[in-house]
């Protein structure tokens, strides 16, 4: 059910105004995605844990349309295009599983089956306690580190069934799992570290930060990064 009215409040109002200020008045519609995201974050903050608050309804979209001076249908078009904007309630932890080709070839289907069994839900459903929702989405842009999921605002990459379920269990306990590669990969370099450019004036070093700034320079020579 939609709320009767919607307006940004507190820190969310301040952030909405900051995003609007980025653009000339006649270009203020460019802030639409940021405002949609803020609207669902405000709803989640007000609803509290387990209440499925992270979504936008028609009232919020119409309020945003008025703020931006654009037809409601244009706001709806954007909201229905981007998967990070939810049009129905989702759990506190929204597991967005990439199912596009690289992730599928690297085991996304087995990850989905493992999560469904572990949480007792199917894709597109939310657990009874309102803590977790599982959704399959299109490419999230981390193909080199497939398979991967996005949970709320964080990416978890290079997953196995075991590592993904461990992440979910930590979230269920109120802990904060470390995002990024779950096998220690740095950025999108090859598994096991670099295989080329290991010597010369700017060799690629180990992923261990003790090896130097950004892992590609001898320690103590940051000026060489520039």
Closest CA to 60 of 76, 83, 81, 80: 76
Beta-bridge partners for 151:
95, 154
Strand order in the sheet with 132-137: 132-137, 93-98, 149-151, 154-157, 180-181
Distances, alpha carbon 223 to alpha carbons 60, 186, 197, 205, 218, in Å: 49, 22, 19, 16, 11
Q: Which residue positions form the known binding site for [2Fe-2S] cluster?
A: 98, 103, 139, 143
Q: Residues within the annotated binding site?
A: 98, 103, 139, 143
Strands 154-157 and 132-137: unpaired
Cβ pair 132, 168 in contact under 8 A: yes
DSSP character at residue 42: H
Element (H, E) at 100: none
Closest CA to 153 of 2, 29, 44: 44
DSSP character string of 105-171? HTTHHHHHHHHHHHHT--TT-B-TTSSEEEEEES--S-GGG-S-EEETTEEEES--HHHHHHHHHHH
């Amino acid at each position: 059910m939609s709320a009767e009215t919607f307006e940004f409040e507190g820190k969310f109002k301040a952030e909405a105004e900051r995003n609007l200020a980025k653009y000339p008045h006649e270009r203020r519609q460019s802030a639409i995605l940021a405002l949609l995201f803020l609207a669902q974050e405000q709803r989640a903050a007000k609803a509290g844990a387990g209440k499925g608050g992270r979504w936008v309804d028609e009232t919020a979209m119409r309020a945003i349309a008025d703020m931006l001076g654009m037809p409601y249908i244009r706001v709806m078009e954007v909201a229905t295009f981007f998967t990070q904007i939810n049009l129905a309630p989702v759990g506190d932890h929204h597991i967005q599983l990439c199912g596009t080709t690289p992730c599928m070839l690297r085991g996304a289907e087995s990850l989905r089956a493992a999560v469904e069994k572990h949480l007792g839900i199917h894709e597109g459903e939310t657990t009874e306690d309102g803590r977790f929702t599982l959704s399959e989405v299109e490419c999230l842009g981390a193909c080199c580190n497939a398979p991967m999921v996005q949970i709320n605002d964080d990416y978890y990459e290079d997953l196995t069934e075991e590592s993904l379920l461990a992440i979910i269990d930590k979230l269920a306990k109120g802990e904060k799992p470390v995002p990024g590669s779950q096998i220690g990969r740095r950025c999108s370099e090859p598994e096991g570290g670099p295989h080329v450019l290991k010597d010369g004036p700017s060799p690629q070093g180990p992923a261990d930060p003790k090896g130097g700034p950004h892992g590609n320079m001898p320690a103590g020579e940051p000026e060489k990064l520039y």
